[in-house]
Homo-oligomer: A and B are copies of this chain.
Amino acid sequence: MDERVPRDFETLRTTILERRHSLPKRIAQIAAYALDNPDDIAFGTAASIAASAGVQPSTLIRFAQQLGFDGFTSLQLVFRERLRERNSSYDERLAALRAKAEEGAGHRAIFDGFVAAASTSLNDISGRLNEEHFEDAIALLAKAETIYVLAKRRSYPVASYIAYALGKLKIRNQLIESAAGLNAEMIGFASPRDAVIAISFSPYAPAAIEEARVISEQGVPIVAITDSSFSPLAQFAKVWFEVAEADFAGFRSLSATMALAMALTVAVGEKRRDAGRKRKA
């Protein structure tokens, strides 16, 4: 065993991919299986793995030997090590972050707390996004002449990001700011051919709700991002998204909302480009 044996999964993976085409059929078969089902290699027995991959146990051992290991067992160790590391690389780290943050050890803990809250929120939303609503929202926004973006206070940063991104994508948009008292007039210009993205979380800013009400009464369709079905925003909206953000130290994360906002914006941009192309053709 003087030749260089891959001792970590990434090296192993690379090695396999390099040699892929020079491997005999059955060996290639088990190689593909190994990269596709690393967990099975980590936990299975030579016999069970061979069966799942549709080869003989001896082939599995030859595969290991071809890679420079002295048997299946040593190959398996690499797959097990990977699981150990992977595992500690996230969930446990997040748990550790949370634990550190909770026991409140100084300023670093504050940082860890916010990182953990943001990660949790992202994790959560990625499983919960309603794909139909997402498509509906994109369709609705893509055909709008002007997209109005409405959000106050905590949600305002998201709105300003949307406005920035829409601008970069050359999509006409209007941010309804809280600052000047011109909101009423701005809203007055909106027509049913336009659309609104409204964002508001509990405790809902009264101004945001009121403006959403007025604008929906003008027949302008609203896409809302909010935090529950009881949200007053939901009742005015054509489509609405529920985003649950984790909080830390009384401040809620914005990461999930941001990710959704970015995705909406870019998807609308893409949809418009596609539509434009079709019209020309």
Contacts and interface: CB of A to CB of B under 8 A. Distances in A.
Given A135-B107, A157-B158, A262-B251, A112 B86 contact: no
The CB with the most chain B CB atoms within 10 A, among A87, A112, A253, is that of: A87
A111 B84 contact: no
A209 B110 CA distance: 29
Nearest to A263: B111
A91 B86 contact: yes
A157 B154 contact: no
Interface residues of A, number: 59
Stoichiometry (number of copies): 2
Find the residue from A92, A258, A259 having the highest chain B CB count within 10 A. Answer: A259
A80 interface: yes
A260 B265 CA distance: 24
A8 to B, nearest CB: 15
Residue of A97, A115, A267 with most chain B CB atoms under a 10 A cut-off: A115
A161 B255 CA distance: 12
B123 A90 contact: yes
A7 interface: no
A122 B254 CA distance: 13
- Which 9 pairs from chain A and chain B are nearest by CB? A157-B157, A111-B263, A157-B161, A90-B90, A114-B259, A255-B255, A107-B267, A115-B126, A114-B262
